[in-house]
Structure 1
Amino acid sequence: MKYKSLLLLSLLLLTASLPSVAQQNSDITTFVLVRHAEKVDDSADPELSPEGYQRAERLAEMLQNISFDAVYSSDRIRTRETVRKIADQNSVEIVFYEPHETEEEVKRMLNSNTGKTVLVSGHSNTTPFFANELLGREHFADKFDESDYDNLLIITIAGGGESELLHLRY
């Protein structure tokens, strides 16, 4: 319980500061990266499990005060469903991206979203490397464990290219 309270406090402080930071410097781009929630099975394109839908709901509740300008997802049911409610809350369409073309996709997203707040739903074997590309350095040496669904990465990139990472669990 103490851990959840600390996480909630961190998120509240972050969400309270994002709009004022964005107003002060419209060159700051914020990316929120998540791995898809729990899947129902190991088939090629599974739905979320009941636990996965609960996690997606919890994510939407946690991020409800953040105004997202864009929501990206790989073209898989589990990644789309993880962020569908957030896209709906922000009245934006989910845009598909190719998670294995990390360098190209990061360039495209950065060019299209400078000064905006973006949510990206990916996979255990792509999200850490996507984060590394956004950061411009290797922070994650390996993929996330297959059983690890609760990483929430918040990356801010200033106009000069300086980047910061806030790595939370939810």
Structure 2
Amino acid sequence: MKKLLLLIALLFLNISLGQKIATTYYFIRHAEKVDNSQNPDLSTSGLERAALWNKIFSEVSFDKIYSTEYRRTIQTASPTATAQNIQIKLYNPKNITIESFKKETLGKKVLIVGHSNTTPKFVNQMINQNIFTDIEDGTFGNLYIVIIIEGEITFQLLKLP
């Protein structure tokens, strides 16, 4: 049922908004990793989750996909990037200039894959509020959706298992 509601929400976000310019951001944390080393690969569960994200996002036509330079984030983004024939663009969350990023992605549908601490911080910067805290260590199903239509910002957090 949760998956159905998520798909309905994602489809709703893809409805044409007439002449207004809409930018939609989908933020996720990387999937489960093999271990706690500095740059681990995804675990079997993580690879399954990355495939699930691809299935969930199959109705969203992304224009851009961003990932940090770590294996786990790239591997999380890869199934969706491959399915949609989009090259993953690497970003450093420490060096993001929010206004430049918004200009670069204006009018686009964008997937951003980050980490337990960088993803909520990035979302907070995009919405100009300090609402979201770091993601719990064992939580990998948060989907933050931020929509900006001519300066008006709406956002939501969906929690998948």
TM-score of the pair, normalised by structure 2? 0.93
Counterpart among 152, 155, 168 of residue 146 in structure 2? 155
Choose 39-48 or 107-116, whichever is displaced more: 107-116
C-alpha distance in 2, partners of 1:26/1:77?
37
Report the residue type matching 1:151 in the other structure: N
* Deviation per residue, 1:99-128 (Å, 9 max, x gap): 1234x1x32321111111000000001100
Distance in 2 of aligned mates of 1:30 and 1:124: 21
Distance in 2, Cα, partners of 1:167 & 1:98: 23
Give the equivalent residue in structure 1 for 2:155: 165
Tell me, yes or no, if structure 1 residue 146 matches structure 2 residue 142. no
| Matching of residue 114 in structure 1 with residue 78 in structure 2 | no
The question of whether the paired residues in 2 share the 8 Å contact of 1:38 and 1:49 is answered with yes
Per-residue deviation at 1:12?
A: 2.2
**Where do residues 1-170 of structure 1 align in structure 2 (5 Å cutoff)?**
5=1, 7-21=2-16, 23-102=17-96, 104=97, 106-140=98-132, 142-159=133-150, 161-170=151-160
- TM-fit CA distance, 1:16: 2.3
Q: Distance in 1 between matches of 2:103 and 2:155?
A: 20
Any gaps of 5 or more consecutive residues in structure 2? none
> Normalising by the residue count of structure 1, what TM-score does the alignment of the two structures yield?
0.88
Bigger drift between 23-32 and 57-66 goes to: 23-32
Whole-Å separation in 2 of the counterparts to 1:125 and 1:18: 26
CA contact (8 A) 1:36 1:149 kept: yes
How far 1:64 moved relative to its partner? 0.5
Contact map agreement 1:26 1:115 (CA 8 A) in 2: no
Deviation at 1:88, TM superposition (A): 1.2
CA distance in 1, matches of 2:93, 2:80: 20
What value does the CA root-mean-square deviation take over the aligned residues?
A: 1.4
- In 2, Cα distance between equivalents of 1:93 and 1:128: 24
Distance 1:117 1:124, change over 3 A: same
Instruction: Flag as ranges the 4+ runs of structure 1 deviating above 6 A.
Output: none
- Output the CA distance in 2 between the equivalents of 1:34 and 1:48: 15
SS at 1:67 equivalent: coil
Distance 1:70 1:30 in 2: 11
